[in-house]
Chains A and B, each alone.
Chain A
């Protein structure tokens, strides 16, 4: 039976998280939560700390301070208790180019302990329109096809938490739109949570239930896309982003006490 208590517990709980590289504060004292079944956007300019934040959640970067709890377990201390329940996709990492799509997915299905791996691979490839590419080496695919294969890898274990770093970068508008729809549908079907770092404002505005605006390693504002747009007196999220990134804009209305922070 589903446990109502764990249904309400945040998938990600971050408190006072910090990362310092030498003399540079890449992430400064950020706190936020991500609710089950929600899509949260991490927005910010280059060097704002989005990728570092995601890397700390994944355990790829050791935090300098603060606390992270994912699916009820402290990270990085107990990261191996939750890694099989989450997954990740980023343009900064690739799948082995010389392995075929099927070989890549088979290896990752084994790594994640996926039951009935062959059936799962068939299922995910059918959903992502990859069936015809199964025997093609990953390195010979177009950018759009590679993104879909990476997405298939990141969904192979049907994760409860998906961390995505610019998932639609390098995709044409049609494919990008299709991927967004697919991810929204995935979240709804599986009650999974997504933390999404993106530079695409339209994407964030469309997909995200909550947005964390980052600048210089800090969360400078957060809220739903519509609340942020209203608060800054702007017409869309891109204008809000520019205001925050350039430090030129100020919220016209004070942020409400936000339960997610």
Chain B
């Protein structure tokens, strides 16, 4: 029987063996989600459709505003840049949450949780899928923006990578939060995946500066990492200034939220285990 399992070369130390096994299990989960996307053209189309539609819509709006507004004429691309960065955040969250929901919809979570896959490895696989789904979905839209509207997001240079990391981390935190809620309260909480991200959108200063919000809302806005990123983007596109302070504050906030969200997910898993919900959970 044991001949069926990995028998590593004797020279390898136990931590190395464990680490290799963990990576193999994470790869197995990424393979599982890749099979799902590959085998379903509606899912693949869905990845591209919304980012592309957003770019087309906001591209025309930007074209109109540039013609009639001196503000947008000076800073062409602020709206399109905001739309694309917002999509990174949105896709980051949905990429995590939807991959997790797939396990609920297919009633497969029980099989996974009795396999050697550890919860932290499941989270790692979901994070990886979030990045993959986001890049697959948003990248074509960025090229469309260059070709169709002459706006090149890649002109943000290395800052784009920093923005991407901060925004996708914020998306992961929300994905973990929502997935934890689904573990805790069942699939009825699924709609929160959409509600939560659109609920915080007005506070994230995506299309307008934080200063334009009412005074009492501004602290709430500054407590959210995306607000720092969108302000940083505007600083580059309008003032031609790189605001490292905003980048640092966004990253630190992201770290705090991500740590709390991981704790929340594990806590909800523990409660679901205690309440006996893991075997029956599903649609």
Residues of A within 8 A of B (CB): 19, 21, 26, 51-52, 55, 58-62, 80, 83-85, 87-88, 90, 92-100, 103, 106-108, 110-115, 120, 137, 153, 157-160, 190, 192
Contact = CB atoms under 8 A, between A and B. Distances in A.
Contact of A113 (B24, B102, B270): B24
B106 interface: yes
Interface stretch (B26-34, B84-92, B244-252): B26-34
Contacts, number: 131
B24 A110 contact: yes
A137 B32 contact: no
B25 A111 contact: yes
Given A157-B5, A190-B1, A113 B108 contact: no
B183 to A, nearest CB: 13
Contacts of B113: 59-60
A153 B32 CA distance: 14
A110 B31 contact: yes
Nearest to B107: A94
A50 to B, nearest CB: 12
Overall SS of chain B's interface: helix
A113 B115 CA distance: 10
B275 A21 contact: yes
Interface residues of B, number: 42
B4 A157 contact: yes
Contacts of A26: 276
Interface in B86-129: 102, 106-118
> Nearest 10 A-B pairs (CB), nearest first?
A110-B28, A93-B110, A158-B4, A113-B6, A94-B107, A96-B106, A58-B114, A107-B32, A62-B274, A103-B35
Given A80-B116, A113-B21, A137-B39, A94 B1 contact: no
B280 A95 contact: no
Contacts of A103: 32, 35, 39
Interface in B264-280: 270, 273-276, 278-280
Given A84-B116, A112-B115, A190-B1, 15 more contacts: A19-B276, A26-B276, A51-B279, A59-B113, A60-B278, A61-B279, A62-B270, A85-B2, A88-B111, A94-B108, A99-B35, A111-B116, A115-B4, A153-B111, A158-B1
B1 A115 contact: no
A21 B274 CA distance: 8
B46 interface: no
Contacts of A52: 276
A120 B6 CA distance: 13
Contacts of A99: 32, 35-36, 39
Given A61-B278, A113-B21, A107 B35 contact: yes
A88 B278 CA distance: 14
A99 B111 CA distance: 15
A97 B118 CA distance: 23
Contact of A160 (B1, B3, B7, B276): B1
Of A21, A88, A90, A96, most buried by chain B (CB within 10 Å of CB) is A96
Nearest to B40: A98
A85 B35 CA distance: 26
B205 to A, nearest CB: 39
Nearest to B38: A103
Contact of A83 (B27, B31, B115, B273): B115
